[in-house]
A and B are shown apart, each in its own frame.
Chain A
């Protein structure tokens, strides 16, 4: 068995690949930001004492974590327009991915929040910190630090999951690859190339997350 690789066949499609990489990056970064915010509120609601919010957050988390992302995506893009809520493909992708990521982040952050003992809060308050300061500097900081590896893994998984949004015609990296494949019929070359592209993207993100870990958690902890 031998296969003649002809990567030159992909050269005319450089623009498409670059566009795809850029959009995948944009989708990932925007979704990570929104997902983190959703996750924080969900975690607070689930660990809080208001029954309505706790119920709502639990329903949301269970509904999202127990259904396929692809189905959620198709409902947002093809289903919601029938109710008068219309997003274009890329916006629908951000909406669906954020809703999905929010549920997972919520669970990760909840675990973090629950790992902080009540005595820590009491210690913070007795040292004269306000409730907000105690939450930010004592609870949240340590909670995020505790779950940071799980959180960043979830972000990397999200970056890879953006590849499914080609199902609704969003033009991210995978979608551009299957477009190029449909024109050149060089599947092996095309998908090898974007495998490398995804690998570079995820490794870059992992490196960035490691830098953030050093700057935010290691150095600040040491300086204390």
Chain B
């Protein structure tokens, strides 16, 4: 009798286990079972994602996508997406995740889920290595070019009201002021600094200090808790082992060591 009962109980439990476990982990299990993960990456937001000479997507987000696929033991199926269609792609199940320098907002979070941030766009003061400045109060007599009315202008004016700030009408003029030596430092976004360096051999725009960070998050459809949790674990470990800061260093030139998790 007791033996009978325990068999029934274990059968019920087993049935429950069989039927419940796959249902809960369908998202993650499906990806692993299919052997591929569909990831949307940008191709128009260098250095996060752009097309290289052989028409292959490259960039921070592309590296991140490939690393995630490798960690899952599946192949990455990369789809180029734009800022406008990245959320619709997720909501219509055309993609499993989107890694596209995406910022989170409460409105977006009503439609899709966000992981903890894996990188950040930063705005700061950039310049060559021989200028020894690491905070706004060390600017002294150095001249800083920036674009009038931008967040960099507002932030730096607030941080260093007495600094020698040269204000230009657009980013191209600010860059020209730095490149022609009219200003010794440039206040801008890290991706602009990278872009200027990549197009001007000899120009050195390394971060002196960062004034603000806009974190980037991986997006995925709602209702996939296993995948979300796995991605958050992956991001968490990435900050721990330094691979995410190495990625930022490689593509953005900025050394972010961690960002507050979601």
Contacts and interface: CB of A to CB of B under 8 A. Distances in A.
B148 A78 contact: no
A169 B180 contact: no
B149 A89 contact: no
B193 to A, nearest CB: 18
Given A81-B181, A166-B169, 10 more contacts: A77-B180, A77-B182, A81-B180, A86-B182, A168-B182, A169-B166, A169-B167, A169-B177, A169-B182, A175-B167
A182 interface: yes
Interface string A150-174: 0000000000000000111100000
Interface string A60-92: 000000000000001001110110001011000
Interface string A38-58: 000000000000000000000
A167 B173 contact: yes
A148 to B, nearest CB: 36
B239 interface: no
A178 B169 contact: yes
25 contacts: A77-B182, A78-B173, A78-B176, A78-B177, A78-B179, A78-B180, A78-B182, A81-B180, A81-B182, A86-B181, A86-B182, A88-B182, A167-B168, A168-B177, A168-B182, A169-B167, A169-B168, A169-B173, A169-B182, A175-B167, A178-B169, A179-B148, A182-B148, A182-B153, A183-B149
Interface residues of A, number: 19
Closest 4 pairs between A and B when the two form their complex, measured CB to CB: A182-B149, A81-B180, A169-B166, A78-B176
Contacts of B177: 78, 168-169
A32 B182 CA distance: 26
Interface of B: 145, 148-149, 153, 166-169, 173, 176-177, 179-182
Interface of A: 74, 77-79, 81-82, 86, 88-89, 166-169, 175, 178-179, 181-183
A205 B176 CA distance: 35
Contacts of A178: 148, 169
Nearest to B181: A81
A141 to B, nearest CB: 43
Contacts of A179: 148, 167
B166 A89 contact: yes
A89 to B, nearest CB: 7
Contacts, number: 44
Contacts of B169: 166-167, 178
B162 to A, nearest CB: 14
A78 B172 CA distance: 11
A86 to B, nearest CB: 7
A169 B164 CA distance: 12
A201 B153 CA distance: 30
A183 B161 CA distance: 14
Contacts of A77: 180, 182
Contacts of A168: 168, 173, 177, 182
Contacts of A167: 168-169, 173
Contacts of A79: 180
Contacts of B179: 78
A167 B166 CA distance: 11
Given A179-B148, A182-B148, A182-B149, A89 B182 contact: yes
Nearest to B183: A169
A74 B168 CA distance: 12
A79 B177 CA distance: 10
A108 to B, nearest CB: 31
Contacts of A78: 173, 176-177, 179-180, 182
Contacts of B176: 74, 78
Nearest to A88: B182
Nearest to B143: A88
Contacts of B153: 182
A18 B177 CA distance: 26
B168 to A, nearest CB: 5
A181 B166 CA distance: 16
Contacts of A183: 149
Nearest to A77: B182
Nearest to A178: B148
A182 B148 CA distance: 7
A178 B149 CA distance: 9
Contacts of B180: 77-79, 81-82
